[in-house]
Amino acid sequence: MKLKNYFVVTSSYWAFTLTDGALRMLVLLHFFKIGFSPFTLALIFVLYEVMGIFANLFGGWFSVKFGITRILTIGISLQIVGLIFLSLLNTNWTIEFSIFWILIAQGISGVAKDLTKTASKSAIKITASNFQSQLFKLVALFTGSKNTMKGIGFFLGGILLELLGFKISLWLMALCLFLILLLSFSFLPKKLGKSSPSKSFRELFS
């Protein structure tokens, strides 16, 4: 795998992480502002984390079977769907149905986050086979930048909410991710990372 492909994948993940961090802050601040209790705020993030567990568990296997490019594309696409889905929330709905709607949107984002993350991590493994001496640097760059982008995303979410409001911020992030999706789809090989996946649970978990 060429280093160019690695940096395209990493850049796509940076953009995704920015929007993911911003989304968390948008959801937290917006729904706190309209009167959601601390318990309800915690509840609406539950499905995000639960769905992320399953996506993280099988994301690597999917990346090997279908290729990193396809899984990265699916992850970013799901995040776009989740953002638009959340923007359709209607203030006239009952509180129960609103919470259900938000939970579904957060669940979609949870799957999107871990599919994108595992696809990006798989890129490091492939890169290492050709650039073994740079493995530590590549891992450090990916991990450190991921946490940095997430932190910046929190601030970005607060700024967007203050300047543009909830729905317009979601639409803007969806548009930005769509542009990133086109970029990654255009520059990455379609079969990047594709090989024979694990054929049994024992082999998968080993």
Mean of per-residue pLDDT scores for the chain: 81
- What's the whole-model pTM score? 0.84
- What local confidence, expressed as pLDDT, does residue 132 receive? 60
SS3 per-residue string spanning 47-83: HHHHHHHHHHHHHHHHHHHHCHHHHHHHHHHHHHHHH
Q: What is the pLDDT of residues 112-127, one digit of tens each?
A: 888 888 877 777 666 6
Q: For the residues of 126-159, what is the DSSP string, one character each?
A: HHHHH-GGGHHHHHHHHHHHHHHHHHHHHHHHHH
Q: What is the pLDDT of residues 55-106, one digit of tens each?
A: 767 666 666 677 777 888 888 999 999 999 999 998 888 888 988 999 999 8
For the cut 90, the answer to whether the pLDDT of residue 22 exceeds it is: yes
